[in-house]
Structure 1
């Protein structure tokens, strides 16, 4: 597989305080953007990956008007591997609407494909286990899971081929979503995460082939963990994840914090007012940080963090506004080895992401 060489590592400034900018109103969608948003994916079936540049050179930036439609699945969730050709969720199965925790737990744990529509606010006590071949889709703009979260898979029942979209997750007693126990082919898209006890979205324990796209993370410290612990070396060769067009809105850290995984593709995300850091690559992980917009982030990228050993990072075509310099090291496998994609101009990322990320943007 092709590896990307890193640039020489620039010095990172001392941990000076970065002023937190006031929150701005989210811009309205353009007519073209609104038309794209109205395209729906009612069954939870996978859409084709966006067509990207030819293998070998960084993909060209494109203007905001030509941005990837916000309903398109891109990244590792589209890959033909591990016995699955992409991620389809519950497509082809019965469609049900749930309004209580008991109903959600029942259908999420049933054998076979289901399209599960979450209507209104559902309070749960703990983690609800989601097993294979499920689409869990919020209805309208008010779907919410609060007090607990969703765990994809158990040690005996895999959580493969799962789609979660258009749901607000608040106040989880543990993680809001945990992708774990070797779950693979997962798409987590257009959700809103805030105020949990631990991680907002953790991917760990040999899970693989995941796309995290068009989500908003806010009012929390630990956003995204990728890799269970420094001792869980079984994650080597797994945890291939794409993070794109997410809005890290004032969250402190882990956007993501990565152990062992390669490649991890972090592209076209909007980082704003992140107090501790943006991305951390540790324990020999290989991370490509590409086409992102960092605003008021003193430490956009770390190589190694806390007690974890250094990872590898290649950064290219990012924009740093009132932010520090990224750390880089080593080489990383090129994501285009696995899938095509189109890169948006990082200068346009704040407008694109704030208009398209979060709930109520996809007409489910």
Structure 2
């Protein structure tokens, strides 16, 4: 396991670690109008089995907690946020500093038990249309590095097979196209902008990124995920499910890391575990999240059930008041979540009593087996928020890997400088 500070420039073009070399040079392929670059050779296993399609995920209703405005806790954060006397939070300014060098490998669970290296060792293909992307992602489990060029528009999700790295070239985006990983392993998704994925277009639930049915060893890094354009109502045509979540991880997935990813303008950001009925989640669903930016997401930053999650150095910011009492890091069904050195900055409650999201909440009336358990809640900074709602004593969960969190007060500036699709991939 590399330490959090170990960064490697040699793979700046690939954005994925290199397995042991076998001395062979992989093929390089160009599809569509983009130009391709070669990849470093390596040896890596291939997955087995076709991805399962057409399987319905159970619908799980979640009751939101009723929250009093309570006393607000404040922290002394960095210079990136401030509050006016009228209670309005000024917009944080991106410093424009370059993002950190491209990491060789993820920190956390995706780096354990053999690691996650995606399509390293396979050829590279550049795709510029929906059909090209679908063919590249779905045709086989052979290692492949896929680079997305330009804007790709579609209305159906794409099933990503095992041993794939999908990289977004600067300025590229997937519009209305979700990526679905079902019964696969060893996948890296980096520098992708995905927006406007509608929940149900006749082929089942659709998120920007969906992990299901035992999918394992996945690294989602430096992505920019958005449900709808900024400022638009969260409820579309009286339907708060018009857009589903930005990332869902359910049905016994495992060894997942989400890093440097920006979640914006969504009712629901990220779900980990689809309810107490998913017994296949027990002992799995292990997740690491770090240096992510949640901006104006009303719920699920993330929402964790029957899982172990490690959340550190994330920046959660809420600037919109909708009358809906939402949540930030939320737990249920005996989930264990360590929350280290995060920064929560929420808009003040207004004169009509509308409340922002609760930054951390452990208990739900729907929880089976009791509320979730939080470790290290006191390490976080809470600015302009209602009180966290933490039931029960602190937990002592320690993740089984090394990591080096920065101080919570440094999180806003650091995350704003690097989160999202900011990598200079060529």
Matched, 1:258 2:304: yes
Alignment-derived partner of residue 118 in structure 2: 89
- 1:294-343: CA deviations, max 9, x gaps? 1115511111235234211122411111122323335546344x210001
Q: Which SS does the other structure have where 1:308 is aligned?
A: coil
Matched, 1:187 2:240: no
Of 294, 302, 310, the residue aligned with 2:344 is 294
Alignment-derived partner of residue 68 in structure 2: 14
Matched, 1:77 2:110: yes
Label 1:289 to 1:108 Cα distance change in 2 as closer, same or farther (>3 A). Answer: same
Label 1:287 to 1:308 Cα distance change in 2 as closer, same or farther (>3 A). Answer: same
Counting matched residue pairs gives 307
Label 1:286 to 1:176 Cα distance change in 2 as closer, same or farther (>3 A). Answer: same
Alignment-derived partner of residue 311 in structure 1: 372
Alignment-derived partner of residue 28 in structure 1: 96
Of 193, 205, 210, the residue aligned with 2:256 is 210
Alignment-derived partner of residue 138 in structure 1: 168
- Cα shift at 1:13: 6.6
Contact map agreement 2:173 2:194 (CA 8 A) in 1: yes
Alignment-derived partner of residue 100 in structure 1: 129
Contact map agreement 1:187 1:211 (CA 8 A) in 2: yes
Provide the rounded CA distance (Å) in 2 between the counterparts of 1:246 and 1:122. Answer: 25
* Structure 2: gaps spanning 5 or more residues: 1-65, 73-86, 199-205, 229-242, 347-355
Label 1:17 to 1:105 Cα distance change in 2 as closer, same or farther (>3 A). Answer: farther
Question: What TM-score comes out, normalization by structure 2 length?
Answer: 0.68
Contact map agreement 2:313 2:405 (CA 8 A) in 1: yes
Alignment-derived partner of residue 124 in structure 1: 154
Question: What TM-score comes out, normalization by structure 1 length?
Answer: 0.79
Provide the rounded CA distance (Å) in 2 between the counterparts of 1:122 and 1:90. Answer: 21
Provide the rounded CA distance (Å) in 2 between the counterparts of 1:135 and 1:340. Answer: 25
- 1:29-81: CA deviations, max 9, x gaps? 1xxxx3x63x347xxxxx25xxxxxxxxxxxxxxxxxxxxxxxx21111012x
Label 1:306 to 1:188 Cα distance change in 2 as closer, same or farther (>3 A). Answer: farther
Q: Which SS does the other structure have where 2:298 is aligned?
A: coil
Q: Which SS does the other structure have where 1:352 is aligned?
A: helix
Moved more, 327-336 or 344-353: 327-336
Matched, 1:232 2:278: yes
Provide the rounded CA distance (Å) in 1 between the counterparts of 2:366 and 2:150. Answer: 42
Label 1:357 to 1:17 Cα distance change in 2 as closer, same or farther (>3 A). Answer: farther
Moved more, 19-28 or 229-238: 19-28
Provide the rounded CA distance (Å) in 2 between the counterparts of 1:129 and 1:232. Answer: 22
Q: Which SS does the other structure have where 2:136 is aligned?
A: helix
Alignment-derived partner of residue 248 in structure 1: 294
Provide the rounded CA distance (Å) in 2 between the counterparts of 1:333 and 1:124. Answer: 45
Alignment-derived partner of residue 66 in structure 1: none
Label 1:79 to 1:362 Cα distance change in 2 as closer, same or farther (>3 A). Answer: farther
- Cα shift at 1:232: 1.2
Q: Which SS does the other structure have where 1:266 is aligned?
A: strand
C-alpha RMSD of the superposition: 2.2
- Cα shift at 1:111: 2.2
* Structure 1: gaps spanning 5 or more residues: 1-11, 42-46, 49-72
Provide the rounded CA distance (Å) in 1 between the counterparts of 2:408 and 2:71. Answer: 24
- Cα shift at 1:214: 0.4
**Structure showing greater relative contact order (alpha-carbon pairs closer than 8 Å, 6 or more residues apart):** 1
Provide the rounded CA distance (Å) in 1 between the counterparts of 2:158 and 2:394. Answer: 39
- Cα shift at 1:195: 1.4
